[in-house]
Amino acid sequence: MLSRNAEFLLEASEPWVVYRTLIDLCGFRENDKRVSEAKAKMLLHPLIRGLIEELQDWPGMVLNSHKSAGQLYHKLAFLADLGLKKPDADFSGLAKKITEHVSEEGLIQLPTNIPAHFGGTGEDKWAWALCDAPLLMYSAVKMGLMGNGAHKGLKFLLSLARENGWPCKVSKELGKFRGPGKKDDPCPYANLIMLKLLALFENYKDSRDVRIGAECLLGLWEKSRERHPYMFFMGTDFRKLKVPFVWYDILHVADVLSHYGFATKDERFAGMLELINSKADEEGLFMPESEWQAWKAWDFAPKKKPSAWLTFLVYRVNKRSAEMQDS
């Protein structure tokens, strides 16, 4: 697939597409001249500079919906996905603000407000939830914003794993809040972002907890018509191609699972990937089928033309999966 359409990606106007294509699909190293040039252009691009400037106002608006794509912690995760590191820009102020609000468990906190009728306090609280803490740690670890300070929080997150995956869990500051589901059910999104975080650590890639988390997601795909814990459905909306990775959707799930060799060999993963690949146009390129309004200035909205970033992500999942299965 790459050999036929690599030029589409390498000639893309978005330098982050070129940058990641050179590294993830073409195998170039960071010190290669073409990679360095693409990264330099990426860091100077107005949209990337805009995100970096926005992050200076960390933590941004009070969190009352984890699905809000405009939240700064989702924008931070996107920069982490691109491969930005602390030395690439002036992230010193951001790193300081992040580490100023770390819980006793070692988790980064966000100002959060859960209404009383949902079991919260109705007040703004610095807190964490299992549907934000792993993603914040992913970004902080990948970008080097916490140094060695993530060990305690990672150990705590691992301790929350159960026999059926990670549950819905929030810090004590959020009162009795719990998502709309059975308390014994796993939270699909929490499992997704926990697996995303743990993919950064080689020593966890074949761990029991990771296998249970992956089974949670694969099992839900297999039983997508019957099982919808915490109202996370795998129906029509889930199956739409949508970027960037913010919430619980098919490409995000496939991308995360593709880091794990045992998962890529599973026929349920193969079915997921087959559905994704079936959405290619005649040229083998991919168009977004839904959009996040907070990202409408980017190449992520359905515009009746292929998206270079979306196409790159699908190609990378295919390449990574093929390599995993051959190993």
Whether residue 229 lies inside any domain: the answer is yes
pLDDT in tens, 216-248: 999 999 999 999 998 899 999 999 999 999 999
pLDDT at 12: 85
* Domain enclosing residue 226, as ranges: 61-75+86-326
Give me Rg for the CA atoms of the chain. 19
> Residue 216 corresponds to which tokens in the numbers above?
């949670």
**Residues paired with 127 in a beta bridge:** 110
Residue 10 lies in a domain: no
Is the pLDDT at 2 greater than 60? The verdict is no
Q: How many domains does the chain have?
A: 1
Model confidence, pTM:
0.95
7 falls within a domain: no
Instruction: Indicate whether 304 belongs to any domain.
Output: yes
**Is 162 within the bounds of a domain?**
yes
Domain presence at residue 96: yes
pLDDT attached to residue 1: 46
Alpha helices in 15-124 (DSSP H): 15-20, 33-44, 46-54, 72-82, 92-100
Residue 148 has pLDDT above 90, yes or no: no
What is the DSSP pairing of strand 110-112 with strand 125-127?
antiparallel
At residue 125, φ and ψ (nearest 5 deg) are -135, 140
Measure Cα distances from 122 to 64, 115, 116, 176 in Å. Answer: 10, 4, 5, 12
Q: What CATH number corresponds to the domain at position 169?
A: 1.50.10
How would residue 98 be classed by pLDDT, with cut points 50, 70 and 90?
very high
Q: Is 186 within a domain?
A: yes
| Tens digit of each residue's pLDDT (9 = 90 or more) over 34-72 | 999 999 999 999 999 999 999 999 999 888 788 889 999
For 176-192, what is the mean pLDDT? Answer: 89
Task: Give the tokens for residue 41.
Answer: 């252009």
pLDDT above 70: percentage of residues in the chain: 97
Burial of 211 (0-12, 13-18, 19+ CB in 10 A): middle
The reply to whether omega before 188 is within 30° of 0 (cis) is no
**37 lies in some domain:** no
